[in-house]
Structure 1
Amino acid sequence: MNPRLNEVFVWPLCTRIIHWIIASSFFLSFATSFYHHLFRWHLAFGLIFGIVLFFRLIWGFVGPNYATFKTFKLNAKELQIYFQEKVHNRWRKIYAGHNAASSWFTLIVLGLGSLIVSSGFVLQGTQEASGILGSLNEHYYYVSSYLFFAHKLLSYFLLMWAIIHIIGVLIEQFYHKTHMLFAMITGYKKAEGKHAQISLIRHTFAYAVIFFSLYTLYVVAYQETFVTQSRFQKRDFQMENSTFFEKCSKCHKIYPPFMLPNDSWIRLMDGLNNHFGEQITENNITKSEQTTIKAYLLTQSAEQSTHKIAFKTLESLGEMRPISMSKVPYWRESHKGIDKTIYKQLGIKDASNCFACHPDFEYGVFDNTRIHIPK
């Protein structure tokens, strides 16, 4: 390390890398949350965000000078003085480590970030029925809407603070000329103080976390593990009800019964004389078979399921009881970002062809981590 005139070495390379992993994993997880088919990436970046936050918490106690919590300026008076000097003294000297504002911002990131990651894990378990908390879905799926709201609100709140932080750094860089923007790139700060020293053990620990984060990205994004595995496995509808399977699959692939509520299935089964433009007669399905199929559908409908699509469908319908999933408000909302020309492709042909983008859909598998939109 070559000493620089009027600059102090504050942030070792491993600290800088962790800083950018924290920032990028949060922003990428936030951005991918708006696209259902990118759920696996959302999950991967969210998990990495949690890993590096946990590291930063430990680093606050065992890290090198300037990174530990004991060097933070957390007194309210210090925060007031910081902003007063910032306004009245453009050319003030800056502290080598965390100033009062960045000290508080670090705690905000750790606090809000921990809540976001925790609520995300619980939400994955209750709503998606997957991951290490997937078993929660069976008894607590009804709280998923509240968890989703809290998870979303906390994320936007942290995003707001991140934007404020970025604005503050830019003001320091271009107005106060403190070169603050480059401090997390070069490691040097335009300040006075002792150069940061980091031991081999700390170096090893930090780089182990960095490589583990990269490995996590690969595993979660591309592999099927306990982190992504769903409690909902393939269903054998033929074994569950052979009449339903054999009669319905003659004309189309099987749609899982939990996709629609009781009244929708009643409407559909009572209106077979005009079944999406086709007339189903007793020559096709006898009255006895119709009764059997209808009874099965009602025992397996959305009201009887803890599947995400069942819960979201019921939540969005209100008084509506459509017989087509593409008429469900939740379906429309979750597919609104998809280019309509995709539905016209040879392999899809229609928006009702769920099987084109959802592998094993005919077996009741509706997992966000497995969505594949044809190009």
Structure 2
Amino acid sequence: MRRTALFDVHQRLGAAFTGFAGWEMPLRYGSDVAEHHAVRKSAGLFDLGHMGQIEVSGAEAAAFLDHALVGKLSAVKPGRAKYTMLCHTTGGVLDDLVVYRLAADRFLVVANAANAPVVRAMLGEHSGGFAVAVTALDRALIAVQGPEAVSIVGEYPDLKYYAIQPSVVAGKDVLLARTGYTGEDGFEIYCANQDAAAIWEWASAAGAVPAGLACRDTLRLEAGMPLYGHELSIRTTPFDAGLGRIVALDKRDFVGAAALRAAEPAVELVGLVTRGRRSPRAGYDVVDAATGEKVGEVTSGAPSPTLGHPIALAYVTKNLDPGRLAVDVRGKREDVEIVPLPFYQRPR
């Protein structure tokens, strides 16, 4: 398996490792729950060096990304970012992405680790006829997330949410972004591999708590954020996931446009809560509690450290009359209730 530039640091910290998308990544350093609470109450420190980073540059970079992705990237101003997706011609999601516009003719596309090879390949395939270069980058990515992230990283009054700018952090030249995947305020720091350890140690010394993949998953679940391979896949469209707002159907043409314009979702993504102690998990059936008829399937589920009870995301039949619903948890039904998303929203 591949290792990030911070692997030796994680080893020294006594991290428990797991294989993830071909990478050996820290799952936890001690307690999942303690790391989760640290992000919600102070600040957590994450190694995201496994994420795919792809630069798209050239005179027609904006026009090319308008064609390849579902969003209107030409409308993004330099220094800002956009959440978008790469879809198949069938309308199914190949990956969800954050795209930063670094300059008029230069973009940074950040892909999920498991999908990075596919995103690179598909962008290359779609680039024919456009004056662009698609280049895979090899550098580190560190996130500082939580209510104390600003006091740790520093005040950047011009750096709004979903913005990016060249900065100096711990004496190192970086790209500093006001983005994240936890539901908290925070920063993502793009830096050279050789600078990653110094930046990590600097942030840790300032109070950021090392946090692993396990708590990152419960944090994003509480924030109602989809995870590829769970809420998103080639079998789902952005509309199924309630993300139709990111599809710019007014664009003249783009990959998957015909299928997405004709899409009529039969399911919808909802939030579920239970007051019991047993958690719905991915793959569990959602059923009508009265009849036992299957009406959906859980995509992600876990006990919520912040809320104190189990939560889950699930696809259910669209326009379902909820009535009494339950999840089949290893042969026993656990009553659940549909609630608005996100489950958790940080105080403003």
* TM category, shorter: under 0.3
TM-score (norm 1): 0.20
Bigger relative contact order, structure 1 or 2 (CA pairs below 8 A, ≥6 apart): 1
Q: Which has the larger radius of gyration?
A: 1
- The structure richer in helix per residue is 1
